[in-house]
């Protein structure tokens, strides 16, 4: 099958039900303007996460990996007026670009960007008594996904939805000899998820305008 069909159908779907407003379009443009990588989720994936946040009736969302705030904006728009989203970003330049995008989207009072390594901030959140979060989206660097998931569990309650992006990696996760750190991180994460009795989980492979990849979904028991 020609991969072009996946892109065309993805576009067809977003034209119908994944409409991006000016704030989301400007957020995507800000990536190129700031010389940042175009590695945000797609519009349809953003809409999907927004629907999941609505389904969870999420009032508290945690995100790992902000980039320019594209996924942040999709999810934060599912929050009630008194809801909050905390997003963790290592790169101060990314955090600054994201802050502008979040301000432009009118979400400044509901979104807090915490700058630093997720692996350092997660214990701080536990220490502060943050959470439990209703939904957690893991989309930062891939090698420590397993450790991020363990911290996510500590910041959860029964029923929390944990989503992890990019866990299929163009199908490379099938290759146990692949040496790419991101692939090894995803393989280690997926194996842990399969054996984790604290959650009920699944993984969906995804095609579309982005590379062939997938997301993992886990509900805390
Ligand atoms: C794939 S991008 C996030 C995309 C974003 N969630 C979206 O879909 O719009 C990953 C982000 O994680 C950040 N990152 C990398 N290592 C990190 C770390 N150790 N802690 C926190 N963020 C990190 C990167 O700087 C990058 O901005
Ligand atoms: Mg991603």
Q: Give pLDDT tens digits for 114-173.
A: 999 999 999 999 999 998 999 999 999 999 999 999 999 999 999 999 999 999 999 999
High-pLDDT (> 90) share of the chain, %: 98
Pocket residues for ligand 1 (CB within 6 Å)?
39-41, 65-67, 70-71, 88-91, 94, 117-118, 139-141
- Ligand with smallest separation from the Cα of 66: 1
Taking only Cα atoms into account, the Rg of the chain, rounded to an integer number of angstroms, comes to: 17
Closest CA to 220 of 136, 156, 177: 156
Instruction: Provide the pairing of β-strand 84-89 with 111-115.
Output: parallel
Pocket test for ligand 1, best of 89, 97, 105, 111 (most atoms within 8 A of CB): 89
pLDDT at 2: 67
Residues 157-170: pLDDT tens digits? 999 999 999 999 99
- Does the model's pTM come out above 0.80? yes
DSSP 86: E
Closest CA to 137 of 111, 106, 160, 164: 164
Beta carbons within 10 angstroms of residue 117's beta carbon: 13
Closest atom of ligand 1 to 69 CA is 9
Smallest CA separation from ligand 1 atom 26, residue = 67
How confident is the model over 6-23, as a mean pLDDT? 97
The 3-state DSSP composition of the chain as helix, strand, coil percent (nearest 5) reads 45, 20, 35
**11, 209 Cβ separation under 8 angstroms:** yes
Measured in angstroms, how far is the CA atom of residue 214 from the centroid of ligand 2?
9
Residues 46-64: pLDDT tens digits? 999 999 999 999 999 999 9
The tokens for 42 are 């797609």
């Amino acid at each position: 099958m020609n991969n072009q069909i996946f892109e065309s159908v993805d576009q067809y779907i977003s034209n119908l039900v994944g409409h991006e407003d000016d704030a989301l379009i400007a957020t995507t443009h800000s990536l190129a303007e700031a010389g940042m990588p175009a590695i945000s989720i797609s519009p349809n994936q953003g809409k999907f996460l927004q629907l999941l946040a609505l389904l969870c009736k999420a009032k508290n969302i945690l995100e790992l990996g902000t980039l320019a705030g594209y996924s942040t904006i999709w999810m934060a728009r599912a929050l009630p007026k008194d809801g909050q989203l905390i997003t963790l970003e290592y790169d101060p330049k990314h955090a600054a670009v994201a802050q502008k995008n979040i301000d432009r989207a009118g979400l400044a009072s509901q979104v807090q960007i915490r700058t630093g390594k997720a692996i350092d901030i997660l214990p701080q959140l536990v220490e502060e008594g943050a959470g439990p979060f209703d939904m957690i989206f893991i989309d930062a660097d891939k090698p420590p996904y397993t450790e991020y998931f363990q911290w996510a569990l500590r910041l959860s309650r029964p029923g929390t939805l944990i989503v992890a992006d990019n866990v299929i990696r163009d199908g490379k996760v099938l290759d146990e000899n692949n040496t790419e750190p991101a692939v090894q991180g995803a393989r280690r994460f997926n194996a842990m998820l399969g054996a984790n009795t604290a959650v009920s989980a699944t993984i969906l492979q995804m095609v579309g305008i982005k590379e062939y990849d997938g997301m993992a979904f886990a509900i805390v028991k």
